[in-house]
């Protein structure tokens, strides 16, 4: 298969991107919004994802793209009282009881005519046993009742370059943790589930100040006819979701 590499992202757009597990902190808050930060402390991150059909190389228009990740201290909304410095026992959806109804750092957008979604958020922190990452799920929408759509075609995790993460973790909002950060190459999911190809292209917004944040982008190739085994339709019925 020929691979086209756009000059802007230098990412293959005709390859099927590797799926990764959804993790225990997947929710379905039905929040359609571009800014998902809800005022969370941290270094700003502008995220641009391009969703393409890996079979045709064409952009996927109108897909519902969900993003969720932890805050600067490693906590997920809905599980804010879980200690991020201690490992959880299971990675399955619904395996960790929710502690609250917070919704920070979660939300969805519909891909535009170019297959693009944009989010305003913060650079994530880390929690025990994992490198810095964020989660993405792509739903193929049929009909008008899009908030009830359960056809998840692709689920993945996106990682960050170590050089950018080192700068971020030295910032005030991220310092003072009881555990050391896990580097990408030590993360089992990064190593075993295509983490290198799932690493965002990250650039500082300004050369003058870290406070201006980062811009991250990646092209994700999906099979629009696929039904992901990582988030199944019945997962939406679990009480934690």
In a domain, 89, yes or no: yes
Q: Which among 22, 21, 2, 20 has a CA at the least distance from the CA of 12?
A: 2
pLDDT tens-digit series, residues 23-34: 999 999 899 999
Quick one: average pLDDT of 225-230? 95
**Degrees (nearest 5) of the Cα angle 105, 110, 113?**
140
The boundaries of the domain holding residue 222 are 44-237
In a domain, 9, yes or no: no
Q: What is the pLDDT of residue 7?
A: 42
In a domain, 31, yes or no: no
**Number of compact structural domains in the chain:** 1
Strand 214-222 to strand 64-68: parallel, antiparallel, or no bridges (unpaired)? Answer: unpaired
- Token pair, residue 88, equals 């959880």
In a domain, 17, yes or no: no
Give 115: exposed, middle or buried? Use CB within 10 Å, 0-12, 13-18, 19+. Answer: buried
CATH of the domain at 156: 2.60.130.10
In a domain, 38, yes or no: no
Q: What is the pLDDT of residue 1?
A: 34
Give the distance, in angstroms, between the CA of residue 142 and the centroid of all CA atoms in the same chain.
Answer: 23
Instruction: Enumerate the H helices of 27-173 as residue ranges.
Output: 162-169
pLDDT tens-digit series, residues 149-197: 899 999 999 999 999 999 999 999 999 999 999 999 999 999 999 999 9
pLDDT tens-digit series, residues 83-92: 999 998 777 8
Whether 6 has a pLDDT exceeding 60, the answer reads no
Q: What is the pLDDT of residue 197?
A: 95
In a domain, 96, yes or no: yes
Q: Which among 67, 155, 130 has a CA at the least distance from the CA of 104?
A: 67
Contact 34, 104 (CB under 8 A): no
In a domain, 30, yes or no: no
pLDDT tens-digit series, residues 108-155: 999 999 999 999 999 999 999 999 999 999 999 887 777 788 999 999
- The residue whose two tokens read 């792509």 is 138
In a domain, 156, yes or no: yes
């Amino acid at each position: 298969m020929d691979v086209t590499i756009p000059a802007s992202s230098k990412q293959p757009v005709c390859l099927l991107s590797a799926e990764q597990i959804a993790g225990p902190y997947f929710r379905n808050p039905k929040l359609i919004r571009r800014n998902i930060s809800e005022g969370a402390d941290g270094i700003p991150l502008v995220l641009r994802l391009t969703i393409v059909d890996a079979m045709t190389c064409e952009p996927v228009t109108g897909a519902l793209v969900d993003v969720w990740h932890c805050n600067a201290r490693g906590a997920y909304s809905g599980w804010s009282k879980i200690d991020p410095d201690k490992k959880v026992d299971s990675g399955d959806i619904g395996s960790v009881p929710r502690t609250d109804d917070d919704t920070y750092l979660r939300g969805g957008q519909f891909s535009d005519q170019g297959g693009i979604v944009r989010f305003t958020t913060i650079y994530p922190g880390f929690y025990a046993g994992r490198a810095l990452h964020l989660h993405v799920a792509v739903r193929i929408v049929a009909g008008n009742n899009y908030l009830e759509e359960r056809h998840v075609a692709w689920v993945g995790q996106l990682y960050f370059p170590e050089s950018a993460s080192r700068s971020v973790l030295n910032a005030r909002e991220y310092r003072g943790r009881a555990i050391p950060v896990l580097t990408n190459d030590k993360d089992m999911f990064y190593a075993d589930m295509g983490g290198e190809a799932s690493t965002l292209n990250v650039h500082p917004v300004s050369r003058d100040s870290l406070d201006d944040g980062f811009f991250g982008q990646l092209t994700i190739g999906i099979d629009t006819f696929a039904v992901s085994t990582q988030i199944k339709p019945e997962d939406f019925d679990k009480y934690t979701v």
